[in-house]
Amino acid sequence: MKLIVFEQQATCAPCRALKPHITAVAKELNIDLEFLEVSEHMNEVLKYNVKSTPTVFLIGDDGHKEIKSRTVMTLMEELKQYGKYL
């Protein structure tokens, strides 16, 4: 499994605020993590239908799921829940 975070690091304060938290959660849950700058990854933005930043997806062998949580506790709960299905 892998987490992909679509961000605009230069102009998005929520993106910068989320980064250390999601990095810690991914490390704790042993999930690969990739940050993609939206302006440099338009093919992926279109593929996953990214509408705003930050947007987080959990990618697995059987598909992907958008992660809506923005707090550490709910993020961990949501990743554990969806991780079973991907």
Instruction: Indicate the domain borders of the chain.
Output: 2-83
> Residue 72's pLDDT is what?
73
Task: Look up the pTM and report it.
Answer: 0.85
pLDDT in tens, the chain (86 residues): 899 999 997 789 988 888 898 898 888 888 899 999 999 999 999 999 999 999 999 998 888 888 887 677 788 788 778 766 55
Q: How many residues does the chain have?
A: 86
Cβ within 8 Å of residue 69, ≥6 positions away: 75, 77, 78
β-strand 2-7 against 55-60: which pairing, if any?
Answer: antiparallel
The CATH number of domain 2-83, selected from 3.40.30.10, 1.10.10.10, 3.90.1150.10, 3.40.50.10860: 3.40.30.10
How many CA within 13 A on the CB side of residue 11?
Answer: 6
